[in-house]
Amino acid sequence: MTHLFKRVSWLAPLLLLAACEAVVLRPSGDIAARQAELLVQSTALMLVIIIPVMALTVWFAWRYRASNKQASYDPYWDHSTKLELVIWAIPLLIIVCLGALTWVGTHLLDPYRPLDRIDAETPVSNQQPLQVQVVAMDWKWLFIYPEQGVASVNELAVPVDRPVQFTLTSTSVMNAFYIPAMAGMIYAMPGMQTTLHGVFNEAGEYQGLASHYSGHGFSGMRFKARALDDAGFDIWVAQAADSAEALDRARYLELEKPSENVPPMAFAPVDPQLFSRVVNLCVEEGRMCMAEMMALDAQGGLGLPGIANVALTDPGLGTPRPVLGLPPFQVTGICTVEELDRMLASAPPVDSAPRDLTPLRGRGLDAPRGILGWNLIPNKLTQSVPPDGADQNL
């Protein structure tokens, strides 16, 4: 008995696995359940080859052992058409089946694809998905509910049997958003926006995590995912709305600083443009958004005057200087439409009385002739011709 115990003692650590929960194979959301089915089907197809190969390996080793004198020995055998057909045909068929499963599963389970059903028996009706904006920080998760006007850190709450559309981005490095019981993994990247659709079919509290290493505090980058009924979700939103701390751009910049093992917290109200600014890397005051920058690039840029006329706003960079000999007339930035409306509303009224233009030098004189006979007239170029001819306007 003692000898047998010693031989099987190495199996004792496997008992620790008894407390593990197979969340991936027993999920609580339809998308994760379909992914689990795909995983099981793919594994079963591969076992069609793996099990016979492993069994034949053991059988050949036992059959043709040195002590078995009755085994046939044919050292000059080198080919069998029947064996070649079996060896190549069966794996080829399995690869074709795996390719078909992968093709169908890749399109049906595309994270950007809106859900076509709540579960195996309930199709999606006209119910609009819940919008949740996700920001991966160092080292915590920020969830913004634009429809409800609230936000939370390291705590996600969604209604049961309602589609959820996650819109994700990151602040510093690429990260991976993963709720094993709900849906697949999706990356969150700075300056970019990704999308994930999912649904919970069972109420409960589940684990969410960052499945991509992102630095020193990566191990504590976990959050609670609560699947609640409609009444419970409304209560959760009401509790978050009672938070005395708003999430504006200044508070976000404080929250963005690296921190580890952050407890759940809630914010209300939330700046409606905050997530868009996070994606466009322009949460800081006075910083141009990437969308505006790309729009200017699409128009050909600010032009040569614009290169000189945009002033340096950082005091540490020194006094702004013009380039290419242009006059030192500079602006501090490019304002948005909302900022322009506010400035125009607060500007003093403009004196619209006509001005006396008599003191202006050159008033009433003919325009000077430029090089090659071109007359320099503001906003217009004309070419001088003989007196008996007519002006040719361009």
List the one residue out of 8, 39, 9, 10 whose CA is nearest residue 22.
39
- Residue with structure tokens 């200087």? 321
* Rounded distance between C-alpha atoms, residue 257 and residue 210, angstroms: 18
The answer to pTM > 0.85 is no
Q: Maximum Cα–Cα distance for the chain, whole Å? A: 127
User: Which of 154, 143, 144 has the alpha carbon at shortest distance from 259?
Assistant: 154
**DSSP codes, 238-255:** HHHHT-S--B-HHHHHHH
Extract the tokens encoding 376: 């320099």
Q: How far apart, in whole angstroms, are the C-alpha atoms of residue 67 and residue 328?
A: 98
Say which residues have a Cβ less than 8 Å from residue 316's Cβ, sequence separation at least 6: none
d(CA 143, CA 354): 57
The highest-level CATH class for domain 130-279 is: mainly beta
Task: Using alpha carbons, select from 182, 165, 177 the residue that is nearest to residue 131.
Answer: 165
CB distance 27 to 225 below 8 Å:
no
Radius of gyration of the chain (CA): 35
CB-based contact 153:262 (threshold 8 Å): yes
Structure tokens at 275: 């997530």
Q: Are 181 and 36 in contact (CB under 8 A)?
A: no
At 32, the amino acid letter reads: A
Burial class (CB in 10 A: 0-12, 13-18, 19+), 223: buried
> Beta 374-377 vs 204-210: how paired, if at all?
unpaired
- The DSSP symbol for 182 reads T
Look up residue 235 and give its DSSP letter. Answer: H
pLDDT value of residue 323:
45
Which of 173, 175, 170, 165 is closest to 195 using CA atoms?
A: 165
Q: What is the pLDDT of residues 206-243, one digit of tens each?
A: 999 999 888 888 999 999 999 999 999 999 999 999 98
Task: Using alpha carbons only, give the angle 47, 86, 49 rounded to the nearest 5 degrees.
Answer: 10
Give yes or no for a contact between 38 and 106, defined as CB atoms under 8 angstroms apart.
Answer: no
Three-class SS of residue 330?
coil
**pLDDT of the residue at 377:** 44
Positions of the chain with pLDDT under 50: 313, 318-329, 363, 370-394
d(Cα 244, Cα 313) in Å, to the nearest integer?
Answer: 34
User: For residues 315 and 121, what is the distance between their CA atoms, to the nearest angstrom?
Assistant: 63
Neighbours of 129 (CB within 10 A): 17
Cis amide prior to 269 (ω within 30 degrees): yes
The candidate with the shortest Cα–Cα distance to 118, out of 26, 225, 201, 242, is 201
Q: HSE of 49 in the Cβ direction (CA atoms, 13 Å)? A: 15
Question: Per-residue pLDDT tens for 121-137?
Answer: 899 888 899 999 999 99
Specify the DSSP element, H or E, that contains 391: none
Count of Cβ atoms closer than 10 Å to residue 126 Cβ: 4
**Domain coordinates in residue numbering, the chain:** 21-64+80-109, 130-279, 301-342
